[in-house]
Structure 1
Amino acid sequence: MNYTYHIADIACVILAAGKGKRMNNPDVPKVMAEVAGKPLIGHVLSQVVPLNPKRIIVVVGHHKNIVIDYLDKEYPWVDTAEQTELLGTGHAVMQTEPFLDDFYGDVLIITGDTPLLRIETLAQFIEEHQRFRGFLSGSVLSATTDNPTGYGRIYRNSKGEFLKIIEEKDADEEVKKITEVNTGIFIINGISLYSVLKEVENSNAQGEYYLTDIVELFLRKGMNFNAVKAKNFDEFLGINTVEQLAKAEEVYLSNQSIVANK
């Protein structure tokens, strides 16, 4: 599919520090698990690089050298920031501040374990946010699924206004019925991002600093934050288990076959 991108300056942060405890391979970081012979982080980067970000920073942690060696070989211009303690997604993004302290554009934040993500989806999300960049401080990409288990829920009021993201482990039974979920993809004004992140607390079921908590913080400050619905939830299948990895490969190969036969 040909697509013309109309995107102002962005930087990209890719979160790749996780252990992947349920992947049954403790010696390999989760983002180095492979789909169709390519590491998960490679699939994500292949969709990010054509967007021409001014900088790409990959946050590494568990078995960091394996990830860094891959990046040095395949994407030598990409920077890496280290998360020495795995204290949550908000804490992970904070590690990138020294790389972006002089950057005044928008920061795209993506998890490194979403191999089915498409560049067209990312570009359209960024464009939608930047159409209102004078009004919006940030946007999160959401999607609807019949099986939202495991995902943070997009919480709206009776008027449909986006209020916050509630993580699965902090959700009550009513919230768990919500089918609109957080895909883990954000775009946030770089000037505001790090100052607001410093206010995030870890008073939650996990004892972690959630990136998702910035939504409420922005809104409390009177700064607007949007949730943009994507069309296809399947693109955002995250990889946490061997079964999910196998499913992602099945979908990926099916998609490749469809493209080849067009």
Structure 2
Amino acid sequence: MSEQQLISIILAAGQGTRMKSDLAKVLHPLAGRPLIRHVLDCALQAGLQRNIVVVGFQKEQVNEALRGYAVEFAEQNQQNGTGHAVQLALEHVNETEGVVVVLSGDSPFLRPSTLRAFIRQHVSSNCDCTVLTAIVPDPGGYGRIVRDASGRIVAIREEKDCSQEEERISEVNSGMYCFRLPALLSCVGLLSDDNVQRELYLTDVVRIMHSKGMQLGTFTAPDWREILGINTVEQLKEGERILKELSEAP
């Protein structure tokens, strides 16, 4: 792993309206630290040498919360989707080879050991994209991992687009990915906002890569709670217990 340049893109531009707070979602404290710092600390402990944080809402406060960290900031002033956020972050990347790890700034439970294993599998398998997935007890609200007859991932289907059969799939998308940099660069510019939200979705990169015959893979989190995001005050309160339990888990 050390032979390849490892770059993280941490998505932290959203407001998080479901928190019903004036504070940007990634700045809410969990166990004494803002959510974004849990994610960045995980990336650093997993060996990511370069970290680009995509900021937007309350960008000055997010910058201040990360004072002292060696990070770069990409600004997403218009909330045009996760694909757009990654496009903006890639403007800071001059390299043509390496591994890009996309992380969610509001997902504080991912453990460094899991992130290291995720990256290691991605590199050793020579995949163009590896999706971090989880088998969850209730997949409601998540994009489902759709596989072909041989078990290979072919798409991430958002819940509103799922057939009845696909709704029963319990393997879901975490919103976190490893990409081979050249593969990502060749596909991210092909994203379209031809959808209800008029946004560029990073999940569509998986569909584009599949259509191009690129190599796709998945890595399943050892504990499904590691992929959980914080979207509400109730989830934030529950988060301290989850953090403690995960820290004690093997």
Does the alignment reach a TM-score above 0.5?
yes
What is the TM-score with the length of structure 2 in the denominator?
0.94
1:74 matched to 2:68? The reply is: yes
1:31 to partner: Cα distance: 0.5
Go from structure 1 to structure 2 and tell me whether the alpha carbon gap of 1:7 and 1:155 turns closer, same or farther (over 3 Å shift). Answer: farther
Task: Give the one of 149, 153, 157 matched to 1:162.
Answer: 153
CA contact (8 A) 2:53 2:74 kept: yes
Match of 2:87 in 1: 94
User: For residue 40 of structure 2, what is the aligned residue in structure 1?
Assistant: 45
Contact 2:46/2:113 (8 A) holds in 1: no
Tell whether 2:226 aligns with 1:232: no
Match of 1:20 in 2: 16
Deviations 1:130-185 (A, max 9, x none): 1122xx21111111011111111101123222101012233333322111000111
SS at match of 1:143: strand
- 1:202 aligns with 193
The normalised TM-score by structure 1 is: 0.90
Task: Note if contact 2:34-2:65 (Cα within 8 Å) is conserved in structure 1.
Answer: no
Shift of 1:202: 1.8
In 2, Cα distance between equivalents of 1:169 and 1:206: 13
CA distance in 2, matches of 1:241, 1:33: 10
Secondary structure of residue in 1 paired with 2:10: strand
C-alpha distance after superposition, 1:89-122 (max 9, x if no partner): 1111000122113241010110011111100000
Question: Helix, strand or coil for the counterpart of 2:91?
Answer: helix
Quote the Cα distance in structure 1 between the aligned partners of 2:152 and 2:118.
18
Q: Which moved more, 1:86-95 or 1:222-231?
A: 222-231
| Candidates 8, 30, 53, aligned match of 2:25 | 30
Alignment of 1:1-262 (within 5 A): 8-25=4-21, 27-71=22-66, 73-75=67-69, 77-133=70-126, 136-256=127-247, 258=248
The answer (yes or no) to whether the contact 2:8–2:101 under 8 Å persists in 1 is: yes
Cα–Cα, structure 1 residues 168 and 178, in superposed 2: closer, same or farther, change >3 Å? same
Gaps of 5+ in 1: none
- Aligned counterparts of 1:200 and 1:66: Cα–Cα separation in 2: 30
Moved more, 217-226 or 6-15: 6-15
Aligned length: 250
Cα RMSD of the aligned pairs, angstroms, is 1.8
Task: Please tell me whether the aligned partners of residues 191 and 205 of structure 2 are also in contact (alpha carbons under 8 angstroms).
Answer: yes
> SS state of the match for residue 18, structure 1?
coil
Give the drift of 1:87. Answer: 1.0
Instruction: Supply the distance in 2 between the matched residues of 1:210 and 1:170 (Cα, whole angstroms).
Output: 14
- On the 8 A contact 1:107/1:189 being kept in 2, the answer is yes
For the 8 Å contact 1:7–1:123, the answer to whether it is kept is: no
Q: Which moved more, 1:242-251 or 1:178-187?
A: 242-251
Q: Which deviates more, 239-248 or 120-129?
A: 239-248
Distance 1:93 1:229, change over 3 A: same
Percent identity among equivalent residues?
Answer: 39
